[in-house]
Amino acid sequence: MKTIITTAFIFSFFLASAQKIDFDKKLKDLGVELYQPTQPMANYAKVVRSDNLLFFSGHGPTFADNTNITGKVGKDLNLEQGYKAARQTGIALLSSLKAEVGDLNKVKRIVKVLGMVNSAEGFAEQHKVMNGFSDLMVAVFGEKGKHARSSVGMYMLPTNISVEIEMIVEVEE
Amino acid sequence: MKTIITTAFIFSFFLASAQKIDFDKKLKDLGVELYQPTQPMANYAKVVRSDNLLFFSGHGPTFADNTNITGKVGKDLNLEQGYKAARQTGIALLSSLKAEVGDLNKVKRIVKVLGMVNSAEGFAEQHKVMNGFSDLMVAVFGEKGKHARSSVGMYMLPTNISVEIEMIVEVEE
Amino acid sequence: MKTIITTAFIFSFFLASAQKIDFDKKLKDLGVELYQPTQPMANYAKVVRSDNLLFFSGHGPTFADNTNITGKVGKDLNLEQGYKAARQTGIALLSSLKAEVGDLNKVKRIVKVLGMVNSAEGFAEQHKVMNGFSDLMVAVFGEKGKHARSSVGMYMLPTNISVEIEMIVEVEE
């Protein structure tokens, strides 16, 4: 009996470890490198926690060197480039998330996302652009990455970034 | 004394039942028919629950046959047609809500709504369009249907839908 | 020993009182006067509480006499005027907050803000406009006023208001 319990304990420990490695491993498998986010230049915060919800500021498609993808999707960028901009915005958000919680395995659920696409007149495929973000989240977190989402087309975005995304994430206590 | 308690018990049971019937009855009185929503075609969910809050994806003015009301309010649609589009978006959201919780009487409050109206240049009556949604919610849920709301004018929306609305709903444990 | 405890008690009471006076004093120092907000004209509420979160409707740059700052930033208004419009929207939100909770010292955190700027074509400094709101919140509430924030450029806003801001505030039980 004792052996069974010990085995079960070791096995569950192994499972937990395996799961713990997963999110980081998946990031590596995807070739995603997070970076240390810069501090906001004004009187706001990149993330604010209330209870077990993290509310994120709108992020843009920002790279580690603090440059952004800019321009309107449907004119300056085509759909595929817009998809990549949304994916890069996801990487920026994950970088802020990692900086906030330390361990990505604390994520319980990507809850809600508002995806705002800098759109040219007549461009009506904001949902396909936003798949760049959503595909990344599900690739990293699986079912926990499946979020409620709005995709909309903006007239103007700050410094002409191509995409701005805000999100709510539920984390463990 | 026992009779009073029994009567009070029966009466409160009657009241509770009456209330339970109400939301469905009101939907029928309004001539509103909910439908079985389709699954999202991409890596997101129509609703995500966190604690006792339901976060809804942006919904459009979608009918049971999965077609949508499209076009810009102030050009392709007049105010009255915009109002109807916002109402239909409410029906789409209630359909997703019903599919999620099963029993609409679990609704404690329609908490927060972001109403995004596909707007022609110069059209500045987004709030009157959004009344199509708000009037429906209050007609169905009474005081519980009274929500915090933002009404704004969008440059472009996915597949040119006329209205996109996301909401947060508080439900019983 | 008893004296120490009594002194500590009195001192902490003094500190608490001092803190209580602070938010009102800061408002006065800033020359900010709140006002009694009007009731919404339609089927929604200015604020809805769920647990200890207050969800605010989108507010505009409304004055005590119910007039608004209108026009597009980057055309009708310059950046400085846009900044002032965002600040006035903050005052409108604080007025609704005060009317809701009675005592501003119940505020635990300004959690999340969506700032929507009525933007002229080519105007891409929505974040600088929104600083008018953020600077006010931090001036009043200090660290508790530091919020997650999105700043975006809208095509149209209701009655052509220059800024619309919605927010989530955490308050004490």
Q: Mind listing the pLDDT tens digit for each residue in B25-41?
A: 889 899 999 999 999 98
Phi (first) and psi of residue B97, to 5 degrees: -65, -45
Enumerate the residues of chain B whose CB falls inside 8 A of the CB of residue A123. Answer: 156
CA distance C32 to C45: 24
Average pLDDT, chain B: 91
CA distance A23 to A9: 22
Cβ pair B68, B60 in contact under 8 A: yes
Domain extents for chain A?
Answer: 35-171
A152 to A69, A119, B132, B163: CA distances (angstroms): 18, 9, 20, 10
B169 to B54, B146, B150: CA distances (angstroms): 5, 11, 15
The class of domain C25-171 in CATH terms is: alpha beta
Q: What is the pTM of this model?
A: 0.90
Enumerate the residues of chain A whose CB falls inside 8 A of the CB of residue B48. Answer: 109, 111-112, 146-148
Cβ pair B59, B92 in contact under 8 A: yes
Q: Report CB contact under 8 Å: B158, A112.
A: no
Enumerate the residues of chain C whose CB falls inside 8 A of the CB of residue B114. Answer: 114, 166
pLDDT at residue B131 greater than cutoff 80: yes
Instruction: Please tell me if residue B114 touches chain C, with a CB cutoff of 8 Å.
Output: yes
Instruction: Please tell me if residue A50 touches chain B, with a CB cutoff of 8 Å.
Output: no
CA distance A28 to chain C (A): 29
**Which residue of chain B is at minimal alpha-carbon distance from A140?**
B43
pLDDT at residue C89 greater than cutoff 60: yes
pLDDT at residue B147 greater than cutoff 70: yes
Q: Report CB contact under 8 Å: C57, B146.
A: no
**Nearest CA to A133 among A157, A110, A100, A154?**
A110
* DSSP letter, residue C143: G
Instruction: Please tell me if residue C155 touches chain B, with a CB cutoff of 8 Å.
Output: yes
> Using 50, 70 and 90 to split pLDDT, how confident is the model at B18?
very low
Mean pLDDT of B87-113: 96
Query: Which residues, 6+ apart, have CB-to-CB distance to B68 below 8 Å?
Result: B60, B61, B62, B159, B161, B162
CA distance B29 to B139: 10
Length of chain C: 173
Instruction: Please tell me if residue C44 touches chain B, with a CB cutoff of 8 Å.
Output: yes
CA distance B149 to chain C (A): 4
Least confident of A46-60, B51-65, C26-40, C117-131: C26-40
Query: Which residues, 6+ apart, have CB-to-CB distance to B101 below 8 Å?
Result: B54, B107, B171
Q: What residue ranges in chain C does DSSP mark as E strands?
A: 44-45, 47-50, 53-56, 107-118, 147-154, 163-171
CA distance C127 to C149: 9
Among A52, A111, A153, select the one facing B156 at the smallest CB separation: A153
CA distance A166 to chain B (A): 13
**Which residue of chain B is at minimal alpha-carbon distance from A127?**
B158
Among C45, C48, C157, select the one facing B152 at the smallest CB separation: C157
Percent of chain C predicted with pLDDT > 70: 88
The tens digit of pLDDT for each residue in A89-143 reads: 999 999 999 999 999 999 999 999 999 999 999 999 999 999 999 999 999 999 9
CA distance C60 to chain B (A): 10
Instruction: Please tell me if residue B155 touches chain A, with a CB cutoff of 8 Å.
Output: yes
CA distance C117 to C115: 6
- Amino acid occupying residue B161: I
CA distance A35 to chain B (A): 25
Task: Name the token pair of A95.
Answer: 């970088």
pLDDT at residue B135 greater than cutoff 90: yes
pLDDT at residue C116 greater than cutoff 70: yes
**Which residue of chain A is at minimal alpha-carbon distance from C120?**
A156
Average pLDDT, chain A: 91
* DSSP letter, residue B148: E
pLDDT at residue C110 greater than cutoff 60: yes
Instruction: Please tell me if residue B121 touches chain A, with a CB cutoff of 8 Å.
Output: no
Q: Report CB contact under 8 Å: B50, A111.
A: yes
Mutate to test the interface with C, among A116, A119, A121, A155 (most CBs of C within 10 A): A155
User: Which CATH number fits the domain A35-171, given the four candidates 3.50.30.60, 2.40.37.10, 3.40.640.10, 3.30.1330.40?
Assistant: 3.30.1330.40
On whether ipTM exceeds 0.90, the answer is: no
SS3 C167: strand
Least confident of A7-11, B7-11, C17-21, C49-53: C17-21
Among A148, A152, A153, select the one facing B48 at the smallest CB separation: A148
Among C154, C168, C170, select the one facing A155 at the smallest CB separation: C154
B57 to A66, B51, B139, C108: CA distances (angstroms): 30, 17, 23, 28
pLDDT at residue A63 greater than cutoff 70: yes
Residue C108 burial class via C-beta count within 10 angstroms: exposed 0-12, middle 13-18, buried 19 and up: middle
Instruction: Please tell me if residue C152 touches chain B, with a CB cutoff of 8 Å.
Output: no
**Nearest CA to A157 among B115, C58, C132, C123?**
C123
Among B112, B123, B150, select the one facing C164 at the smallest CB separation: B150
CA distance A170 to chain C (A): 15
Q: How many Cβ atoms sit within 10 Å of the Cβ of residue C26?
A: 16
> Using 50, 70 and 90 to split pLDDT, how confident is the model at C18?
very low
* DSSP letter, residue A38: P
Query: Residue C70 has what pLDDT?
Result: 98
Mean pLDDT of C136-161: 97
Neighbours of chain A (3+ CB pairs under 8 A): B, C
